Structure 1
Amino acid sequence: MKWNGINKDSVNLYKGLGILLIVTHNFMHRFPSPKENEMYFNENTIYALFDIFLNEPSGILRAMFSYFGHFGVQFFVFFSAYGLALKYENKQCETLPFLKNRLIKIYPMFLISILFYISYIGILKPLLLGKGMDGVILFIASSYDAILLKLTLLYNLYPGQGFSLVGPWWFLSMIFQFYLIFPFVINMRNKYGNIILTLPLILSIIIMYLFSGEIFGISLFFTVIGHFPLLALGILMSSKQKVNIPKSFGYIALAIFSLGNFHFNFFLISHFMAFLILILFTYDKITTMKPTSTTYKVFAYFGKISMPLFLVNGFLRFPFENYAHGYNNELITWLLFLPFLLICMLSSELLLTINRVFTQKVFIIKEA
């Protein structure tokens, strides 16, 4: 594969593809089987997938999204680093202005999505289930501390809090940690060259193996440490507009990723390998996609709403996911997924609109 860089339109297409994988995975993965090896490793998980293939062929599509769909996150990890590195290439990145800019982009929308969550899960859901105000009070009593912790954007550093309230929100805490170290990393890269990236990259891998992927009960995949190899690759590739990637890299990545489904030691770097496989497989297809094609328009649209869609899809699964689990029928599951996706899209558009008014009118911030 010849890497010629990624333009803004192609990045948006990748975001669209990534968020569709993530949203579908989030709807499908809480069935009893199969789960996924994402934050933690279980050697029996891959055998559960094989069992679906052999004994329940009608569920293969759902099982594939359940097991593999979370790797859509890897696109967002890579392109977060890639885009920022392009922006600050050969340019000093001042820490406080940079962090202020990043927080403005994610924090207001996150605050609004928390209000959406409280309104939908904390108020509407108890009322719909006939629990009345007692249900609302119980929700507040049991969730207020986790909600307050979410506001710090450091909640994934606390045991048991990575997936609390809304599972997909773990990503915001991880990417905020990346923002904290990015000015130092990019300034060092600009000063000493890409070779400087090898030190934190190797260090992150050593930490993963030294602590077996977990510190104080917290999976390092919740943190920037577990994703730093891919973040470093994003920074590296931003300065290499033309790179010839041999096919052998793809075969090696596929072999390591395959072993990572069976053996813990390979699992610790399988997320990175999964991205290499995805980018090698999709690069030519994405970068040459015609703007007039239906696929282009679908990916472009979902890329545009990827951020709000990421924030709301986790809690908008109710009640559709409950019905899907109750019927436990593949066709009904996919039929229920469609109205769920539609409501997610409408909610994302509403979230975008409220966020635009909130940032422009309240904080008088102009869109970039």
Structure 2
Amino acid sequence: MNRFESLDCLRALAVIGIVICHILGNIDFGLPENFFFQTFLPFGADYVFLFMMLSAFSMCCAYYQKFKDRQVDLNTFYKRRYLRIWPFFALMVLIDVAFGFSKESLIEAFANLTLFFGFLPNPDIHVIGVGWFLGLIFAFYAIFPFFVFLIDNKIRAWIVLALSIAMTIFASSYFSRPELVVRAVGKWSFLYCMPMFVGGGLIYLYIDKIKKIPVLWALSIAVLATVLFFALDSYHFVAKMLLFASWLIFAIADSVRPAQWTLMRNKFFAFLSGVSMEVYLCHMMFFRAIEKTHVLDFVPSGILRFLVCLVLTLAGAIAFSVLVKKTIFRGIHR
């Protein structure tokens, strides 16, 4: 089984969490100062790490064994990676440059369109600022054959995970000294995020055992991990990796349940998961439009203003994404 339907729920909730985080980071709604609004919702910024783990796991489901068996045509493999990402991203880049034309924007647009800007030492690109994630993901795609070699077996994969965590620690400390970099190494660096990708690969290696885990056990572990994560107030990189791993394991366990419909497996999550990348890339365009038209000025309550802003942003991004995929890029995505 290479299709785990409950993963759609994780992708959908992750992109909603990221949109919420970006909205909260750009407008002060005067929301209540409690755990939900001050800690839980802003944590959505870290859902990009969940996407990394999901990407590694999904890629392994589709290609890991094929690469080991030498059944993959590299030309076809990389063409598919470009066709999945490039068209919509290129459209968003052109729109951004058109509204903020400058010499700098042209250079940054060129870097974006190569999809290799993730290999820059300091990819501080403002044209489609959220696009840094695609640069990172495409770097993972580029080295995926080597990634398969790194996690060739479970023992080697655990060793690579330990080494990658050590590299993350050194990258954010020793290699982030002011005399070495303009800004501290962070999530835009592939080496910094490598443990998330290896974590997704490791989960794939244990997929047969994970399928046998009772879903209630997996749910209990995921809930416990979530409660401990926020209760201990420890947002270390490794803690985030363990948290997201527990969510992914639960989603896998839920996917193999005999039930045809569960809370995580329904048409809405499947639909939103299918446009999650596009919504991630274009949601700021609709948020800025809402901000500039001052439509929120007519909403009195802070919580209500936040909800209206969220609904309008998501609705605009989803509608735009679906329209573009079904018209301009219909043949490509088919």
Asked whether the two chains share a fold, i.e. TM above 0.5, the reply is yes
CA distance in 2 between partners of 1:295 and 1:194 (Å): 30
State how far apart, in whole Å, the 2-side matches of 1:298 and 1:196 are: 39
What amino acid maps onto 2:160 in structure 1? Answer: P
Which digits, 9 at most, give the CA deviation of each residue in 1:38-88, with x for residues without a partner?
Answer: xxxxxxxxxxx9x811xxxxxx65445642112332332122111221222
Distance 2:172 2:262 in 1: 48
Aligned to 1:269: 238
Amino acid in structure 2 at the alignment position of 1:23: V
Specify the alignment match of 1:356 in structure 2.
329
Mark the runs of 5 or more structure 1 residues left unpaired by the alignment. Answer: 35-48, 54-59, 123-135
Q: 1:169 aligns with which of 123, 131, 138?
A: 131
Cα contact 1:19–1:306 (8 A) shared by 2? yes
TM-score (norm 2): 0.77
CA–CA distance in structure 1, aligned partners of residues 161 and 253 of structure 2 = 27
Sort the Cα spacing of 1:151 and 1:220 in 2 relative to 1 into closer, same or farther, 3 A. Answer: same
Q: CA deviation at 1:232?
A: 1.5
1:13·1:303 contact (CA, 8 Å) conserved in 2?
yes
Instruction: Map 1:35-50 to 2 at 5 A.
Output: none
How big is each residue's C-alpha offset from its partner over 1:190-243, in whole Å with a ceiling of 9 and x where there is no partner? Answer: 4xx222223432222112222335542252321222222221122222232223
2:197 aligned residue:
231
Q: Distance in 1 between matches of 2:333 and 2:17?
A: 31
Residue 309 of structure 1 pairs with residue 279 of structure 2:
yes
Number of equivalences: 313
Distance 1:339 1:107 in 2: 26
Taking the TM superposition and a 5 Å limit, the aligned residue runs for 1:1-368 are: 7-31=3-27, 52-53=33-34, 61-64=36-39, 66-88=41-63, 89=65, 90-92=68-70, 93=72, 95-119=74-98, 122=99, 139-158=101-120, 161-162=123-124, 164-187=126-149, 189-190=151-152, 193-212=153-172, 215=176, 216=181, 217-239=183-205, 240-243=207-210, 244=213, 255=228, 261=233, 267-279=236-248, 290-291=260-261, 296-321=266-291, 323=294, 329-357=302-330, 360=331, 367=334
Q: State how far apart, in whole Å, the 1-side matches of 2:163 and 2:309 are.
A: 45
Q: 2:209 is matched by which residue type in structure 1? A: K
Query: Structure 2 counterpart of 1:170, which letter?
Result: W
Distance (whole Å) between structure 2 residues aligned to residue 248 and residue 140 of structure 1: 51
Q: In the aligned structure 2, how far is the partner of 1:83 from the partner of 1:145?
A: 33
Partners of 2:21 and 2:82 lie apart in 1 by: 27
**Alignment identity in percent?**
21
> What's the TM-score, normalizing by structure 1?
0.70
Q: Mind listing any 5+ residue stretches in structure 2 that lack a counterpart? A: none
- Offset of residue 142 of structure 1: 4.8
- 1-structure distance, mates of 2:158, 2:265: 37
In structure 2, C-alpha distance between the alignment counterparts of 1:187 and 1:294, rounded to whole Å: 33
